[in-house]
Amino acid sequence: LTAEAFEPFGLILEPLQTPSFDLPTKSLHRFPWQCDAPVIVQILSFKQQPMKVGKIEKHMHVTESRMHIGGSPTVIVVARPTDDVPTPGDLRAFRIDGQGVMFKTGTWHAVDAYPLGQDPGLFLFLSDKDTQSELFDSPVAVPERSVLYDFAASGEDIQLV
């Protein structure tokens, strides 16, 4: 995972070449994280599963972020922010091990992530309450803040190699 390779999809959360503030006892690195609703901080524990992309989604109101904080290195799958649903050929996979990513608004990403070892992949996860509520707390048939697409329901079998 490099900043250059991930740039079409977002930013890597790591110290910047030039800190936002360089103080005597610490350097501060700020990122342009955005949302238009209250922030929600969660820990995601991605469990072992087949390396198969079923559902993807994108969010319009938040620069969703994930920081790998433990467990097995984990593969995430993303596609560039577009109005159209990406094709399987548009999907890109990245191995995350102790790094974090911040998706650009509208970046398509697999709903699941894929641990490479026996332990779950643990992530600190930043999103917004309104987006998470319409997906999990009080699910709606057609979300207003996100777009979802189910490759599996469309008969497409996407295996990661």
- 106-143 residue pLDDT tens: 999 999 999 999 999 999 999 999 999 999 888 888 89
- Mean pLDDT for 67-89 is 97
Give residue 45's pLDDT: 97
- Mean pLDDT for 35-64 is 95
Three-state DSSP at 3 gives helix
- Mean pLDDT for 76-93 is 96
- Kindly indicate the confidence band of residue 161, based on its pLDDT and cuts at 50, 70 and 90: confident
Residue positions counted in the chain? 161
- Alpha-carbon span 36 to 61, nearest angstrom: 6
Give residue 137's pLDDT: 87
Tell me the two tokens of residue 70: 């433990």
Give residue 15's pLDDT: 87
